[in-house]
Structure 1
Amino acid sequence: MKQLVDSFWRAAAYCLHPRVIWLSVLPLLLTGVLAAVLGYFFWESALIAVRAQLDAWSLTGSALGWLESVGAGGLRTLVAPLIVLALAVPALVILSLLVVALMMMPKLVDLVAQRRFAALERRHGEPVWRSVLYSLGATLLAVGALVISMPLWLVPPLVLLLPPLIWGWLSYRVMSFDALAEHATRDERRELMRVHRLPLLGIGIVTGYLGAAPALVWAVSAALLVFAPVLIVVSVWLYTLVFAFSALWFSHYCLAELQALRARSEPVSAVTGPPDAIVIDTVPAVPPALPPV
């Protein structure tokens, strides 16, 4: 628990570092341009398609008709934009997470290592391509879990539990792997992720709830839908900043535990030596006899 709290405050302090702020803006450029392009070309067509689908379903048609009968017909025009945003924002968040894993995560790990763990040996346990495949695989699993669990979101308590839990698991798997990929061997990484599974999952869940907070920027007020393209960009930036904080938190915690793991194991092996080592005591050579006088 002490290490969790210490890593939390260190990660929060690092978020004020100019380099971290700049790195949080870089992924925003990609996702912001993509959101603007998609919004320009597909926003109206997406709204038309969603409205047509809603009108085609008898259940939603009855619900929308009931809204008009009670004088809340204005809400009818907000349903389709809300659905489009609910589908677009998670897709942009997933893209942002991949960009963070590929662009920001290595640089943030280097920042933490240079400033706090300069003496920690880099053993290059995992190549870059394996990290990319690992991130893609975990992301696909998380997306599948989100899609499968969507019907359960209609149950009020579960909608507050399932998405942050899935995002937390994804953050735990991806960011723990990337935080240890450069410094730890494969065996060290597997041991740390096994022994510290619950603390790492806890970090992921906390950051998952933090990642859900930016969605309130546009979800709490329907009036903000007028600024939907801007809100998507702002939400993605907030998500990216949360991801940067998450990466720093995982980096501080994982590298500190890696340092502690090596401190517990390596001094013993250094003193005892390899089990098959044979120590041969050398006898100093006898100096030659002095010549007779």
Structure 2
Amino acid sequence: MTLLLDSFWRAVAYCLHPRVIALSFLPLVLMVALSFGLGYFYWDPAVEWVRAMLDSSSLLTSLWGWLERFGASNLKTVVAPLIVIFAVTPVLVLVSLLVVAALMTPALTSLVAERRFAALERKRGGSFIGSMLRSLGVTLLAIIALVVSMPLWLIPPLILVLPPLIWGWLTYRVMSFDALADHASANERRELLRRHRGWLLGIGVLTGYLGAAPSIVWASGALFAAAFVILVPVAIWIYTLVFAFSSLWFAHYCLDALQRLRQEEYATTMQGAPSTMVLEPIEPPTAPSPERLALPDDPPPPAGR
């Protein structure tokens, strides 16, 4: 818990760093270009297709008539854009995660390492290609889990649990690998993920709930058509900032845990290693012999007369 809270407040403080703020706008440029490109070519056809699907349903036709009697006739024009928005939002989240993992996470991990763990050895247990393949693999699994679990979202409590849990698992798998790829060996990474799996998953779930914050901005359907140019960049920047914060949180937590693991291994090695110093026995001093007591310069005794 101490490691979790310490890494949390450090990640919050690092979000105010000028380099982090500048990096958060780099994926925003790409995401805004992608959003406007899709909106320019596919927004009207998508809304018209959804509206046609709604009009073709006899059950919804009776619902629209019932709403018109209560003065809510404009609701029909709002529902179709909202459905398109809610359908596109998970795709933007996934693309944003991949962009942040590819562009921001290595830079933010290097920033944390330079400022806090400059003496930590880099064993380079992961590669950029391995990180991208891993990110694509777990993202595909997350998409499958989202699609399979969609019928359960109709149950009110589960819609508040299942999507953040899936986002949390995805974030945990991607961010923890990227945070340890440069500094930890493969064995150290596996050991850390085994020891701290619960805490890392908790960080992922919390950041998953934070990732739902931009949906509040997007949910203002009545204002969306008029404020499209403002709401889309704001929502995407919030997404990228949340992912940047999660990258910093994982970087602080994982590198600190790696440093403690190496300190434990060093302490264990020093305790188990035998002493290499050999003390030779000291011989007691011996009494000098009578011959050595005679002085060589003594004069010879006098000769007899």
Question: Following TM superposition, by how much is the alpha carbon of 1:199 offset from its aligned partner in structure 2, in angstroms?
Answer: 0.6
Q: Percent same amino acid at aligned positions?
A: 60
1:60 CA displacement: 2.8
Where does residue 31 of structure 2 map in the other structure?
Answer: 31
Amino acid at match of 1:6: D
After the TM superposition, which residues 69-80 of structure 1 pair with which residues of structure 2 at under 5 Å, given as runs?
69-80=69-80
- 1:3-82 to 2 correspondences below 5 Å: 3-82=3-82
Q: In structure 1, how many angstroms separate the alpha carbons of the residues matched to 2:190 and 2:59?
A: 49
Q: Does the CA-based 8 Å contact 1:35-1:229 persist in structure 2?
A: no
**Partners of 1:89 and 1:232 within 8 A in 2:** no
TM-score, scaled relative to structure 2: 0.87
User: CA offset at residue 188 of structure 1?
Assistant: 0.9
Aligned equivalent of 1:145: 145
Query: Matched residue of 1:92: which SS?
Result: helix
Deviation at 1:98, TM superposition (A): 0.2
Deviation at 1:223, TM superposition (A): 2.5
For the residue of structure 2 that corresponds to 1:23, the secondary structure is helix
Report the Cα distance in structure 2 between the residues aligned to 1:237 and 1:86, rounded to whole angstroms.
17
Aligned-residue offset at 1:266 = 2.3
Give 3-state SS (helix, strand or coil) of 1:167's partner. helix
Counterpart of 1:87 in structure 2 is: 87
Tell me the CA shift for residue 236 of structure 1: 1.0
Q: Deviations over 1:200-232 (max 9, x none)?
A: 111111111111011101214533342234312
Aligned pair count reads 280
1:186 alignment partner in structure 2: 186
Deviation at 1:59, TM superposition (A): 2.8
Alignment-mate amino acid for residue 184 of structure 1: A
- Shift in Å at residue 87 of structure 1? 1.3
* Secondary structure of 1:118 counterpart: coil
Deviations 1:2-28 (A, max 9, x none): 111110000000000000001100001
SS in 1 for 2:126: coil
Residue in structure 1 matched with residue 287 of structure 2 by the alignment: none
For the aligned residue pairs, the C-alpha RMSD in angstroms reads 2.0
- In the alignment, is the contact (CA less than 8 A) between 1:131 and 1:178 conserved in 2? yes
In the TM superposition, what are the counterparts of 1:139-288 in structure 2 within 5 Å?
Answer: 139-220=139-220, 222-269=222-269, 272=272
Residue 103 of structure 2: aligned partner: 103
**Cα deviation digits, residues 131-152 of structure 1 (max 9, x gap):** 1111011111111111122222
- Give the structure with the larger helix fraction: 1
What residue identity is the alignment partner of 2:147?
V
Alignment partners' CA distance in 1, 2:268 and 2:197: 26
d(CA) in 1 for partners of 2:9, 2:117: 17
The secondary structure found in structure 2 opposite 1:122 is: coil
Q: Conserved in 2, the CA contact under 8 Å of 1:127 and 1:181?
A: yes
Deviation per CA, 1:158-211: give whole Å up to 9, x if none: 221111111111111110111111111111111111111111111111111111
Q: Distance in 1 between matches of 2:103 and 2:62?
A: 47
Corresponding residue for 2:291?
none
Partners in 2 of 1:36 and 1:221 — Cα distance? 18
Offset, 1:42 = 1.1
Q: Which has the larger radius of gyration?
A: 2
Query: So what's the TM-score if we normalise by structure 1?
Result: 0.90
User: Aligned to 2:90, what secondary structure does the other structure show?
Assistant: helix
User: Structure 1 regions of 5+ residues with no counterpart?
Assistant: 284-293
Quote how far apart the aligned CAs of 1:61 are.
2.9
Q: How far, CA to CA, are the matches of 2:121 and 2:194 in structure 1?
A: 21
Q: Distance in 2 between matches of 1:160 and 1:144?
A: 18
Q: Distance in 1 between matches of 2:59 and 2:150?
A: 18
